[in-house]
Amino acid sequence: MRNHSKAFRHFMIMMITGILILTGSLFCSGTANAKEGDCGNTSDGKFWYEVITDPKGKTPGKVSISAEVSGGHFGNKIVYPNTIIGKNKKKYTVVEIDGMSVDENDYSNVEEKITEITIPKNCETISDYAFEDMNIKKVTFESGSKLKKIGEEAFSTKKTISTITIPKSVVSIGAGAFNAGVLKVNFEKGSKFKDISKMKKGSYWWVNEWWTVDEIYNYRIISEPNGNNPGKAELIMYDPKSTKKIASYTIPNVITNPANKKYSVYSIGEDCFACDESISNITIPKNCVIIGENAFMSCELKKVIFEKGSCLKEIDEAAFYSCVNLKEIVIPKLVERIGVAAFAYSGLRKITFESGSKLKFISGLAFDECDLGNVYLPNNNITFDTADLEMGSAFGTGNKTIYTANKATYQRMIKELQNEENYGNVDYKAVYTGSYKITYMIPKTVGSKTYNKVEQTNLRYNTQVTLNPSYDKNVYKGYSLKFTGTLTDSDGEQYTVTYKYGQKVDPSGQGDVVLYASAVPNTYQIRYNANGGIGSMNIQDGVVYNQYIELRQNNFMKSDSVFKCWNTKPDGTGTSYKEGQKVTKLTAESSITLYAIWEKRSIKIRFSAGEGQGTMQEATVKQGETLKLPKCTFTCPGKKFYRWQWIYTNPDDSHSFIVGTYEDEAEFSDTQNIYATASGYYEFLAVWSDASGYNLTLVPNGGTGTEKKIVLSADNLDDSKTAYEIFSTDFQKEGSSLIGFQFDKDETIYPVKTIQSWRLSKLYSYLRELYGANTEVRINAVWEQKTYSIVFDETDGEGYMEAVVFKCGETAKLPKCTYEKDGYQFIGWAEESDKNVVVYEDEAEILHNTEDGIALYAVWSPVTYRIVYNANGGYGSMKGETVTYGESIKLAASAYRRPGYTFHGWSTDKTGGKVYKDQATVKNLLPYEGTVTLYARWTENDVTITFNPNGGTVGRTSKVVGYVDTCGTLPTPVRDGYEFKGWFTSKSGKIQYTSSTVVDLEGSLTLYARWQAKKITVTLNAAGGKVNGNKSKFSIDTGTGITGLPGAKKENYTFDGWWTDYTGGSKVTAGTTFAKDTQIYAHWKSKSTGKVNVRLTIRKYAGAEGCIIYYSKYSDFSNAKSVKIQSSKTSLSTMISGLENGTKYYFRARQYKVKNGKKKYGKFGSTISKKIP
């Protein structure tokens, strides 16, 4: 069994492949003021004695003794004497018992044979650890015992002592004096006992250790400072009683001692399961609050499970150190502290903290060298301690990214990453996932060194943020904000960023961000607009807001205007700028448009009297504008002013023409300005008319009514009147309508209303141009024959027919009816008075004398059709039936049959269309006279084919085909080492099915794969050696065991057989089978020796002077060798050489002190095994 008391000393054997943790105990005397004096073995060799000297150097004749058990002097019982005879033949009184001593080279654990001891009455002290870890079952104190003190863990034994009675003289009992050893402690009547031991600091202190009733656990009872026992225990050691592998193991919540008292498992103590190789998966009980130092160190654990509702609060130093098979763990939510190197050098790849985790502290190297990937810390203020181990980071090295939503926690990690002293010892990444804020430092004015502070708060991790803080836009008119800041990446490295205002960025992952704003002058475009002119000008691009720029010269043109200036508004009401003017800060926007401002050209109009006389002032008109011409003031005797003529004469006076004519005081506008005279003005000439007029005669022209005669002259013109009265007549013509008038010299027909609306001056001008002066004018009435219209109504039919127009009094033929109505035929037209009575047949003649319109309505008659039934691939006979459109009919029951198919209805198409159920009620199957065929519709009965791979594998295990369909594509199975030969109806063969085989059975079908074994080649790879003989390849059938394998040779190596992999794999022996071509490899064991570096670490303990490490190839330590380490230092190391590569060695150690030149050895610690690579 393994000893886990506080007296243990730990040291490490550092080897090529890892670390071995060994423990060893030390015997130390507890005698106060004892000094070295006479010492040696008693004459019978049974005891070693040391004479006790008082502080004055005198020897009062007292000794401390220990039993020399290596000499075979005792059976299973030691009776310690009251007196002994020393080397000087002097008699000494035995006042102290210091347990047992073992020879240096005694590997037999002879001390474990002792089961009974008797303490002499003269003994006053039993020293610390005197009988620790022994198999003592019975302790007897001689009558009249003078015993005063029982040292620490003096009876911390392996076996349970049922009862022990403490002499009444005892006044002091050390801590853990009866750990795990005594079921019941009695005190002799009249006992003077005062103090069991001094209490330890803290809420609890440790007292007696015990074994559970099943002897699987060694435990301590936990007592409170006030002495109360809350029924809690710490597990100290696990002894499975077997080396058999255990897949899963659950530590109990409650343990029971031999007296049937139950204790809640409060903690799993130091080294309790350390180096255990038997358990793969372990469940920690929910009652457990603490996992102690090294509790599971170097175990073979693959999985650690915490019971639901776990009370665990602390995972102590190196608790899961070097658990290389442990890949994942979930930390219970109540855990507050993770100790030094708790998971260092383990195989952890993932760690998860339960929701609501209370974690507060992670100590140095807790996860060192763990490639954890992504670690999401709970949202707590977690501190990290590196004081315990020099240069020790909580997360240390290894591939891991640590995520935390707590700012303080994140800042601690970043500080650690940025500490140059940690270089090489810290290489994880840190990411902050909590809410954060961006603080913008915005200068109060452009270029100012004082700032306004603006914050964006409650920003989320991994979410883009738009950088758009509020600021005084007027202060920064024409400028944009640029932000610069120093950010920190996940490695703790700082870098500078520059952002634009409004940019979307994600600066999360590093806590709060501070960005300093600076003003950047905007650039803008100047666009030039012709504003009614023609031409083009390039944009002035990239104009910097606060810099001067010269405006461009105008390149636009406008025929009626001249350029005046540039203006920011097209109507000229904005800011004006000259061509070439130097300007700055034209706009704070992205562009500005400058409009060309034009000034109209103007021209004078000169008026000429022509035949008349008098003068008139000139008028001025601007190009493109409208001018009302002045009233003519010229006179002409015997004539009247008629109109103005705009006259243009070529510059060389070679030709003149009339540009236009204008009535008196008419509006005039000119948009071209091209008809000015050579002197630069327009010439308007007065035109005069005779005072005499025109004799107008209006005749009915084939109609009836009174001719109308009217005289129209310049003297009776009243331009305020129209020609309405002139052209208002009593003309009529039967069957016709008056539509207009036609002048005898003009073919144009002027509608009545149009000519009635003419002004008299317009009519006069028309007559003057058409007839000249003093002319007789004949005006004829124009007639048009009357018509009537017929519209056609479909009466619930479908289609479109245009209305027709016929002349009144003439016989016409109705158009052919184009309307249609499903299930009906057209039989004629009815009138509105009775829409069901045919008045006109299709294309009948019609005569009508009035303009009144006519509406005709289609009249319809239903059709009949015949239904016949078709077997559509089936057989049998059925009668047909005749049906009238609009009539509902129940279909006849199907009398057809078809093997391999199921009838499921009728349809008008053999393969598609709507399906009617058997004996369904139907209506209107055919919309016209004829025959409709109803086809029987059949559903092919499916056959399910199941594919049995018969020892192989197949991707598709079944398919469905139709009755009498071919199999179609069949899957191809695979089987290592075999060739597929096809699908058959039984495992042994029978009928083969291929893709073209017709499936002519109903129900289901199972097909079996048939295989033929392949010949495969097994190639021997000597892995640097040489195969014995000449045969390096074997040809065998798949599934047939290999035989006749040769050996191999390699210098300085021993052949270890053939294996499936170059390193590792499975060993190949006679009878091993293969499924494909394979290469097997020779494995070798080196004959050379390796070296192991042994490093000893001893915790501070008075009196410890050295230790011996024992090592052997055998678990019982037969043929063991040893290495001694002697030093006063606490760190000891040595080199062990001559170890065989590939061999498993067993290591254990024990420590010693020296008294009077005699080494006093402690007990062996736990045994550790390790295979030398």
Q: Which residue has the higher pLDDT, 734 or 594?
A: 594
- Of 1013, 1042, 1057, the last residue of a domain is 1013
Q: Tell me the CATH number at 246.
A: 3.80.10.10
What is the per-residue burial (b if ≥16 Cβ within 10 Å, else e) of 536-552?
ebeebeebebeeeeebb
Query: Does a structural domain hold residue 391?
Result: yes
Pair 55, 163 in one domain: yes
CB 1151 within 8 A of CB 1101: no
Q: Which residue has the higher pLDDT, 536 or 657?
A: 536
- Give the burial class of 117: count Cβ atoms within 10 A of its Cβ; 0-12 exposed, 13-18 middle, 19 or more buried: buried
- Of 938, 955, 982, the last residue of a domain is 938
Pair 909, 1025 in one domain: no
pLDDT, position 212: 67
CB 508 within 8 A of CB 463: yes
> Which residue do the tokens 């448009």 mark?
593
Pairing of strands 149-150, 125-126: parallel
Pair 117, 162 in one domain: yes
- Give the burial class of 893: count Cβ atoms within 10 A of its Cβ; 0-12 exposed, 13-18 middle, 19 or more buried: exposed
Residue 1113's contacts (CB-CB under 8 Å, 6 or more residues apart) are 1119, 1140, 1143, 1144, 1145, 1146
Pair 284, 391 in one domain: yes
The 1033-1037 sheet, strands edge to edge: 1033-1037, 1015-1021, 1078-1086, 1053-1059, 1067-1068
The band of 463, judged by pLDDT with boundaries at 50, 70 and 90, is very high
d(Cα 169, Cα 188) in Å, to the nearest integer?
9
d(Cα 449, Cα 441) in Å, to the nearest integer?
10
The band of 433, judged by pLDDT with boundaries at 50, 70 and 90, is very high
d(Cα 47, Cα 97) in Å, to the nearest integer?
10
Closest residue by Cα to residue 208 from 195, 226, 222, 198: 222
**Assigned token pair, 804:** 């027709």
Kindly report, residue by residue over 704-734, the tens digit of the pLDDT.
Answer: 999 998 888 766 777 678 889 999 999 998 8
Output the CA angle 717-718-721, nearest 5 degrees: 125
Query: Does a structural domain hold residue 591?
Result: yes
Query: Does a structural domain hold residue 49?
Result: yes
Query: Does a structural domain hold residue 500?
Result: yes
Question: Can you spell out the DSSP letters for 257-291?
Answer: -TT--EEEEEEE-TTTTTT--SEEEEEE-TT--EE
CA dihedral over 564, 565, 567, 573, signed as positive or negative: negative
Q: Which amino acid is at 85?
A: I
CB 793 within 8 A of CB 834: no
CB 230 within 8 A of CB 197: no
- What's phi and psi for 810, nearest 5 deg? -115, 145
Pair 104, 141 in one domain: yes
Query: Does a structural domain hold residue 105?
Result: yes
For the CA atoms of the chain, what is the radius of gyration?
Answer: 61
pLDDT of 1158 over the 80 cut: no
Q: Averaged over 354-359, what is the pLDDT?
A: 93
The band of 762, judged by pLDDT with boundaries at 50, 70 and 90, is confident
- Give the burial class of 566: count Cβ atoms within 10 A of its Cβ; 0-12 exposed, 13-18 middle, 19 or more buried: buried
Pair 885, 904 in one domain: yes
Three-state SS at 254: strand
Three-state SS at 931: strand
Kindly report, residue by residue over 257-288, the tens digit of the pLDDT.
Answer: 766 778 889 999 888 888 888 888 999 999 99
- Region of poorest pLDDT, from 298-307, 545-554, 780-789, 1114-1123: 1114-1123
Q: Averaged over 1116-1139, what is the pLDDT?
A: 64
Q: Tell me the CATH number at 990.
A: 2.60.40.4270
Pair 412, 456 in one domain: no
Pair 747, 625 in one domain: yes
- Of 1033, 1054, 1085, the last residue of a domain is 1085
Question: Can you spell out the DSSP letters for 580-642?
Answer: T-EE----SSSEEEEEEEEEE-EEEEEEE-TTSB-----EEEETT-EEEPPPP--B-TTEEEE
Pair 513, 588 in one domain: no
d(Cα 478, Cα 437) in Å, to the nearest integer?
28
> Which residue do the tokens 């199957």 mark?
925
Pair 576, 612 in one domain: no
Kindly report, residue by residue over 194-237, the tens digit of the pLDDT.
Answer: 544 433 333 333 345 566 666 677 667 776 655 566 788 888 77
Query: Does a structural domain hold residue 80?
Result: yes
Q: Tell me the CATH number at 589.
A: 2.60.40
In this structure, the number of other CB atoms found within 10 A of the CB of residue 243 comes to: 8
Pair 837, 898 in one domain: no
pLDDT, position 1137: 66
- Give the burial class of 1074: count Cβ atoms within 10 A of its Cβ; 0-12 exposed, 13-18 middle, 19 or more buried: buried
pLDDT, position 15: 33
Residue 971 sits in which domain range?
942-1013
Tell me the sheet residues that pair with 646.
660, 684
Query: Does a structural domain hold residue 281?
Result: yes
- What's phi and psi for 726, nearest 5 deg? -65, -40
Model-wide pTM > 0.85: no
Q: Which amino acid is at 208?
A: N
Q: Report the run of H or E that residue 410 belongs to, with start and end.
A: helix 407-418
d(Cα 488, Cα 512) in Å, to the nearest integer?
10
Q: Is 1065 left (phi over 0), alpha (psi -120 to 50) or beta?
A: left
Q: Domain tally for the chain? A: 9
Query: Does a structural domain hold residue 965?
Result: yes
Pair 502, 454 in one domain: yes
3-state secondary structure string, 718-768?
CCCCECCCCCCCCCECCCEEEEEEEECCCCCEEEHHHHHCCEHHHHHHHHH
* Average predicted confidence (pLDDT) for the chain: 82
